[in-house]
Chain A
Amino acid sequence: MHSWLLAAVGGVLIGGSAALLMLTQGRIAGISGILGGMLPPMAVDRDWRAAFLFGLLGAGIVAAVVAPQAVGASVRGTPMLVVAGLLVGIGTRLGSGCTSGHGVCGLARMSPRSLVSVVTFMATGALTAIIAGGF
């Protein structure tokens, strides 16, 4: 299948999942927010968060068995991955969301905060990839 078609099908699943979470729990499917609520100071509503995260991690385990090629190799060495992970952790909590919460959910709800967030992280993400690709 063409990569753009796979991308579109994957997107439908992601959007459908976010819609399901909104309809059943009344919650935004924002991964950084759901995960952040499980870290101290913990959110009070941990049951649905834990269930969602178990499902998400379960998909990775299924992939390891059925389609290991779906998970690509890292493009950076350990020091750079640590820096990247730290920035993503700090940035998503400071900015109240990531690609899922602001991108998929916030834009769909026409949130002005999410629009500013997406434009900002797309810009710094592109700039960083361009600069890092030069080395």
Chain B
Amino acid sequence: MRELMAGVAGFIFGIGLLVSGMTQPSKVIAFLDVTRGWDPSLLFVMASAMGVNALVYWKLVRRRAAPMYEPTFHLPTRRDIDLRLVLGAALFGIGWGLGGLCPGPALVSASSGSLGAIIFVAAMLVGMLLQHRLARTTARP
């Protein structure tokens, strides 16, 4: 049941990305580029997604001692702002602005057969592996 619900959540997430327009790189670029015929419609994706999620989090999740299929919640607790956070977000933004794809829409587009998205996802996986390796090397004393 636990895995089934995770699978359902993944599927709904993917459909949401497809419906919202996030899987159209030209639309994402038109949203990010405020200087050339700005298309603000993707603001609604963020607003409604956050609204629904916030409602459930503050009204339901915070009142539960544990999630339905796990003994405890696994939610991030860190509140400190460090260089890794800012540098990582900055690099991610540059990649997002270049390709018009972020990880979720890239995966959905790749599985739909978009060659460009498949190339992007392959490079993204290499980037993730590189970062993992780098993190392990720098963590050594």
A residues bordering B, Cβ < 8 Å? 3-29, 31-32, 35-36, 39-41, 47-64, 67-68, 70-76, 78, 80-96, 98-100, 102-109, 111-113, 116-118, 120-130, 132-133
Contacts and interface: CB of A to CB of B under 8 A. Distances in A.
Instruction: Please report whether the interface of chain B is mostly helix, strand, loop or mixed according to DSSP.
Output: helix
B112 A87 contact: no
B49 A112 contact: no
Range class of the B interface residue count: 35 or more
Nearest to B50: A108
Nearest to A61: B111
B57 A55 contact: no
B92 A128 contact: no
B34 A130 contact: yes
B49 A21 contact: no
Interface in B75-92: 75-76, 78-81, 84-92
B16 to A, nearest CB: 3
Instruction: Please report whether the interface of chain A is mostly helix, strand, loop or mixed according to DSSP.
Output: helix
Given A35-B103, A116-B86, A28 B130 contact: no
Contacts of A39: 125, 128-129, 132
A16 B67 contact: no
Interface string B82-106: 0011111111111111111111101
Contact of B124 (A19, A48, A88, A108): A88
A-B complex: 10 closest residue pairs judged by Cβ atoms? A89-B127, A95-B88, A10-B20, A59-B14, A55-B10, A74-B116, A85-B123, A128-B97, A13-B16, A15-B52
20 contacts: A10-B21, A18-B53, A28-B75, A41-B136, A59-B15, A72-B23, A74-B25, A74-B114, A82-B119, A84-B96, A86-B123, A88-B106, A90-B91, A90-B130, A95-B86, A103-B50, A105-B53, A107-B54, A113-B78, A121-B92
